[in-house]
Amino acid sequence: MRLLLVEDHVPLADELIAALGRQGYAVDWLADGRDAVYQGATEPYDLIVLDLGLPGKPGLEVLREWRAGGLATPVLILTARGSWAERIEGLKAGADDYLTKPFHPEELALRLQALARRAHGLANQPQLEAAGLQLDEGRQCVTRDGEQIELTSAEFRLLRYFMLHPGQILSKGQLADHLYDGESERDSNVLEVHVNRLRGKLGREVIETRRGQGYRYAGVGA
């Protein structure tokens, strides 16, 4: 899951990047509103966390431009401006959720998870469930038939992305785009290794290979 963090306060951004990284997000960080307008619209992000008081361009303006340009990525506004009038303003500009500073890191994690599920039509689920598997995003482990299976960070990221797109064919390029941030090196062999490890833990049928097209999450017993 690729996440764009737009926040101009460096210490907070450092904290967030570290926390979000631990939660398996590939985070790109920007501090300037003008850069955010461009990069948010060109890179394939799955989630955006947006601060409102930004240098260059106010956050609400950035959001409006994204929405006017047809960007549908879920945006969570993270701001110190917590009055209801400002929240409504944020929603009208096209935000999907609103969290006021100071916030509990856990709260942010839960809201981002809920936002991702909602964006993929999986609302009203306390946990990510798809085709027989339940993913605990907090503890980064998966439950199959009541049996808990631990995952490495890389496996967790990959499985989460698959489970958010059940039944869809995902090319290697697409997977790489959404699993690695803009600065990591992309090696499709590494991806293959992680897919194989997941198959080893969950069973071969969980992820199908479509030759020349990519992978498809089929789940278990579906």
Partner 1 sequence: MRSIQRRLSLGLAGVLVVVGLILAQSSLWLFDHSLRRYLREDLEDETQTLLIALVRGQNGVQLDERRLDPTFQRPFSGHYFRIDFGDETWRSRSLWDRSLQPPAKEGLQDGLGDGPQGQRLLVFRADYRRFGQTFSINVAQDYTPILQGFRRLQWLGLALGGGALLLILLAQRYTVRVALRPLERVRGQIAQLQQGRRSELDSQVPQELEPLVGQINRLLSHTEETLRRSRNALGNLGHALKTPLAVLVSLSERQDLRDQPELQATLREQLTQIQQRLERELGRARLAGEALPGAHFDCAAELPGLFSTLGMIHSHGLKLDWQAAPGLCLPWDREDLLELLGNLLDNACKWADAEVCLSLAEEGDAYRLWVDDDGPGIAPQRRADVLGRGTRLDEQVAGHGLGLGIVRDIVDAWGGTLSLEDSPLGGLRVVVRLPKNSSVA
- List contacts with partner 1 (CB under 8 A): 9, 11-12, 15-16, 19, 53, 79-88, 91-92, 95-98, 100-107, 110, 114, 118, 123-124
> Which lies closer to partner 1 via its Cβ, residue 123 or residue 169?
123
CB of 94 to partner 1, least distance (A): 11
CB of 69 to partner 1, least distance (A): 21
Distance CA 204, CA 181 (A): 28
> Which lies closer to partner 1 via its Cβ, residue 13 or residue 158?
13
> Which lies closer to partner 1 via its Cβ, residue 107 or residue 208?
107
Cα 74 from chain centroid? 9
Taking each helix axis as running N to C, give the angle between helix 153-164 and helix 172-179, from 0 to 180 degrees, rounded to the nearest 10: 120
> Which lies closer to partner 1 via its Cβ, residue 114 or residue 175?
114
CB of 98 to partner 1, least distance (A): 6
User: Which residues lie closer than 8 Å to 139 by C-beta, 6 or more apart?
Assistant: none
CB of 97 to partner 1, least distance (A): 6
CB of 42 to partner 1, least distance (A): 26
CB of 82 to partner 1, least distance (A): 7
Place of tokens 């590494």: 190
Continuous H helices in the chain:
10-22, 33-42, 59-68, 84-93, 105-119, 153-164, 172-179, 188-202
Q: Are the beta carbons of 33 and 55 closer than 8 angstroms?
A: yes
> Which lies closer to partner 1 via its Cβ, residue 80 or residue 222?
80
For 183, the 3-state DSSP assignment is coil
Q: Is 156 left (phi over 0), alpha (psi -120 to 50) or beta?
A: alpha
> Which lies closer to partner 1 via its Cβ, residue 117 or residue 194?
117
